[in-house]
Amino acid sequence: MNSKRIGIIGSGSWATAIAKMVTDNGFTINWWVRQASNIEYFQKRHHNPHYLRNAYFDVSKIDFSDDVSKVVEGADIIVIAVPSIHVEVSLAGLNENAFQGKKIVSAVKGVIPKLNILLNEYVAEKFHVPIEDYFTLLGPSHAEEVASEQLSYLTFSGVDHEATKHIAACFKNEYINTIINSDVYGVQYASVVKNIYALGAGIAHGLEYGDNFLSVYIANCAREMKLLLTAIMEKTGHQCDKVNYSGSVYLGDLLVTCYSLHSRNRTFGNMIGKGYSVRSAELEMNMVAEGYNACKCILAINENVNAPLPIITAIYKILWEGAEPGATFKEIEQILI
């Protein structure tokens, strides 16, 4: 597989961690970095100027470009690792056949806003990418721990089992273990809703709830998530045999996103719980908390499947309707089991 060339679209913390994994494994990569000034800095200092600054790279293995078409053209496997709100803009420079004959790997943990669709649905509609050429790269894993080479587990999902194995092999090394999964739709929806629940965990922490409450809250989130995923899969016909919702890409990712201090969604929620406005929290973090837009998207999607989502609805009311966090969590207390 080392003859395969990997392209990475995105230059945030997760994209940087992905670049570290594959270059550590000996791959030469094409890397789209939006700003030319950041490329100049990277080439000179050998690290990302804004994210994971302690992760250093052998830049001889990296062909940087601020031209997304050039990055895609020169790669066989394309990893898309931008926040969901930036997907449309990031891919806008590509023609409709740009991905023909290539494998697309999604590291996007969100729904495309306004369209309320997953990335595979977007690239199928816009670039004619068949589901057989689409794969997902999901956690549980925080970019900061990957950068420091602390053991992490990644789940790769795809309907083509052999191709999924080959792609996963590009990432496996001493600090990355890989798991194969065929639930392409389910893992993506799980990665979306766990960010919403992590916002709620952060709000609870900001309101000074303790670990006892959080454990009950997260257990109920896991239950609600399973109800939603089951309802979506039944409605859309994308059911997958033998899905283990207690597995690492479902429950594991939910746990780490709700508990970890590395979690930007938890951090964002913590600010809301302490009294920050949404806008103030956004300015303070200067990073995208995917769960904020996700709760609006998921409720729109749920209009077609009617799963009971009292926790997501409550978080939506806090973030989008200005509901008072303390009073809203008093209501959440009454529905937890």
pLDDT band at 3 (very low <50, low <70, confident <90, very high): low
C-alpha neighbours within 13 Å on the C-beta side of residue 266? 18
Residue 106 bridge partners (DSSP): 80, 136
- pLDDT for 2 beyond 70: no
Task: Compute, in degrees rounded to 10, the torsion defined by CA atoms 255, 82, 291, 148.
Answer: 30
pLDDT at 329 over 50: yes
- Amino acid at position 58, single letter: D
| Contact of 157 with 179, CB cutoff 8 Å | no
Number of domains in the chain: 2
Domain that includes residue 285, residue range: 187-333
Cα separation, 291 vs 298, whole angstroms = 10
Quick one: which H or E segment has residue 193? helix 184-206
State whether 177 and 108 are in the same domain: yes
**Residue 284's CB: how many other CB atoms inside 10 A?**
12
Together in a domain, 12 and 50: yes
Specify whether 207 is located in the same domain as 176: no
Give residue 51's pLDDT band: very low, low, confident or very high (50, 70, 90). Answer: very high
Which tens digit of pLDDT belongs to each residue from 154-205?
999 999 999 999 999 999 999 999 999 999 999 999 999 999 999 999 999 9
Residue 111 and residue 84: Cα distance in Å, rounded?
6
End position of a domain, from candidates 182, 202, 230: 182
Same domain membership, residue 111 and residue 26: yes
Task: Give the residue from 164, 182, 200 where a domain finishes.
Answer: 182
Same domain, 155 and 208: no
- pLDDT at position 105 over 70: yes
- Residue range 224-277, pLDDT digits in tens: 999 999 999 998 888 887 899 999 999 999 999 999 999 999 999 999 999 999
Joined tokens for residue 213: 């409450």
**Same-domain check for residues 305 and 248:** yes
pLDDT digits (tens, 9 = 90+) for 56-73: 999 999 999 999 999 999
* Residue 124 lies inside a defined structural domain of this protein: yes
Q: What is the pLDDT of residue 1?
A: 45
Q: Are residues 165 and 297 in the same domain?
A: no
Last residue of a domain, one of 182, 208, 231: 182
Q: Same domain, yes or no, for 63 and 34?
A: yes
